[in-house]
Amino acid sequence: MAYPIYLTIGNIPKDIRRKPSCHAQILIGYIPTTSLGSIQNKAARRRALGNLFHACMDKVLAPIASCGEQGVAMMSADGVWRRCHPILAAFIGDYPEQALVTCTYNGRCAKCQVPHDQLGEYREFPSRVQSDAINTYHLANGVVSVFHRACREVGLKPILRPFWVSHHLTDIFLSITPDILHQMLQGVMKHLIKWLSSPTVFGSLGLDARCRCLPPNHGITLFPKGITTLSRISGKEHKDICRILLGLVVNLSVPGGQVSSRVIKAARALLDFLYLAQFPSHTTDTLHRLQQSLALFHDNKAVFVDLGTRNGFNIPKLHSLLHYFSSIMLFGTTDNYNTEQTERLHIDFAKDAYRATNHKNEYMQMTAWLERREKVQQRVASIRRQQHEQSRVRAMVPIGPPQARHGALKMAKNPTIKFVSFDDLDRKHGALYFQDALADFIARINYPGASGAALRKKAEDTLIPFRGVPIFHRIKFTAHNNYGESEVVDSVHVQPEQADSHGRITPSRFDTVLVRNGRSGTQGNKGESFRKNV
């Protein structure tokens, strides 16, 4: 129903910016998306909608235009007031929004002057020049036919006054950033899955059959019905598919007896590009690997044409991958400007606000609701900051050397099954000689300094006064990140074969783990690692 506009400052650390709770991005307004149904001519309606959007954006960003040129006094983090010139540096949006902002036509690149029929080629084209575009739009005050002809010649929409014309320090074509969510996950990867599941390549039956055979594992989402029958796939689901996609196609045969190595190379190159593009930090080597992955795909992409899956690759989202290297060099890593952040904000703020307004007078009520919410949040943040400063003054103690933070086991408060007999542990869980192992453990706890022979004797004399134990089907391993927060880094699942309420059998699952026996790093005892099926 409306375009939400979010604003952030470029020098805020990305670890803060991508957390909605930190409020590093703020909602500054809504732009209406009325359809203007009273205008019968479709071309005129689209032109009017574009002019309406740019007129609203010009009004919203007018303070930035004046402050960018004249400067404004701002306090920096060190408490010193400086004259700053804030400008519109980056625009974050999906492809339709990029085309709307840059006034380019759908099916064209918003950053360079690539012809429509050469979008699939692996070569660079001249960048769009904002000064030339502004000179073209200055013709809007003259003869209409001359203005429209000039816009067609340069591949721009005939907008009367784009909002960025008044932002002389902004290059709107340069400010368009990559978009992992819509360009890669919802775009290129969606095409790749469609190509691989084509009957002329691997087919949907082969991919779905392998999906159903995948064993469960930590961090892996299972698709018991396959991936080719899914509809309305979200970005998270595309991420989960990309984790297993290469394993699904390895060693599959191509119809007609053709070699599938070129298909595997093309798929792997795009997957490598996807994961390299999402690195939280880059070096010269990783950026060169990013370019090499894209070059490898273009070297092998013709296999899809040879197999009859594609006639060409004139896809704007595929062409946009050529600009990732320069954008990362200019704006930093892609997690600084991924549209997943604004999608999350839209869910948290816009939809919650819409539900809170009872759907009457939506825009005014949503704005008022958000303003009240932001004021409450600002007040809470102010109180917390004051409390933190007071506690810091009271606890003025010397800071010692940093302490290493180790991971820990995280168990559920209550067991999965309260009682399982020793016989069932042996028969269903494969825990052979559990009573002997338990007796050995009790002996070591009670007599830590005893010798091996003495411990074996004590274990033989240990009486276990119960015939079963509670069991847990899941163990989580946690570790502290760089911000002191605990996060789950791995998980172990243990579950015997069992039947549900409908009589359907759920297969057993016993994950393999590595256990370190002994203390590493001590002289004379280097430790020994061995494998156990828990």
* pLDDT tens figures, 317-362: 999 999 999 999 999 999 888 888 777 666 665 555 555 555 555 5
6 CB neighbour count, 10 Å cutoff: 16
Range list of H helices, 62-218: 62-70, 95-102, 130-137, 144-154, 189-196, 204-213
pLDDT value of residue 357: 54
DSSP 184: I
Neighbour-count burial for 403-425, b at 16+ CB within 10 Å, e otherwise: eeeeeeeeeeeeeeeeebebeeb
Taking every pair of C-alpha atoms in the chain, what is the biggest distance, in angstroms?
105
Please check whether residue 280 is in contact with residue 227, taking contact to mean a CB–CB distance below 8 angstroms: no
Closest CA to 196 of 51, 37, 303: 303
DSSP 435-478: HHHHHHHHHHHH-TT--HHHHHHHHHT-----SEEEE-SEEEEE
Closest CA to 328 of 293, 292, 279, 295: 279
pLDDT value of residue 531: 45
Prediction pTM value = 0.74
Q: Can you give the length of the chain in residues? A: 534
Distances from the Cα of 44 to the Cαs of 108, 142, 151, 336, in angstroms? Answer: 20, 19, 15, 37
Q: Rounded to an integer, what distance in angstroms lies between the CA atom of residue 436 and that of residue 428?
A: 18
pLDDT value of residue 268: 96
Q: Rounded to an integer, what distance in angstroms lies between the CA atom of residue 348 and that of residue 21?
A: 10
Amino acid found at 351:
K
Kind plus residue range of the DSSP H or E element containing 284: helix 284-300
CA atoms within 13 A on the CB side of 188: 28
Match 């010139």 to its residue by tokens.
85
pLDDT value of residue 529: 41
Closest CA to 51 of 36, 66, 63: 36
pLDDT value of residue 377: 75
pLDDT value of residue 330: 93
pLDDT value of residue 388: 74
Q: Rounded to an integer, what distance in angstroms lies between the CA atom of residue 203 and that of residue 308?
A: 13
Distances from the Cα of 527 to the Cαs of 56, 218, 452, 456, 532, in angstroms? Answer: 67, 26, 18, 22, 16
Q: pLDDT tens for residues 215-273? A: 877 778 889 889 998 888 888 899 999 999 999 999 888 887 777 899 999 999 999 99
DSSP 348: I
* Bridge partners, residue 478, by sequence: 408, 488
Closest CA to 343 of 54, 170, 97: 97
Closest CA to 509 of 493, 532, 531: 493
- List, in sequence order, every beta strand (DSSP E) within 342-398: none
Q: Rounded to an integer, what distance in angstroms lies between the CA atom of residue 180 and that of residue 340?
A: 8
Sign of torsion over alpha carbons 128, 129, 130, 135 = negative
Structural domain spans, the chain: 2-177+338-383, 180-335, 408-533
Cβ contacts of 448-455, under 8 Å, gap ≥ 24: none
Instruction: Output phi, psi for 510, to 5 deg.
Output: -135, 100
DSSP 181: I
Q: Rounded to an integer, what distance in angstroms lies between the CA atom of residue 164 and that of residue 494?
A: 59
Q: Rounded to an integer, what distance in angstroms lies between the CA atom of residue 434 and that of residue 87?
A: 69
* Bridge partners, residue 505, by sequence: 499
Chain centroid offset of residue 393 CA: 40
Q: Rounded to an integer, what distance in angstroms lies between the CA atom of residue 114 and that of residue 76?
A: 41
Q: Rounded to an integer, what distance in angstroms lies between the CA atom of residue 298 and that of residue 303?
A: 10
Instruction: Output phi, psi for 237, to 5 deg.
Output: -65, -35
Q: Which residues of the chain have pLDDT under 70?
A: 1, 344-370, 391-407, 481-485, 517-534
Closest CA to 54 of 6, 1, 3: 3
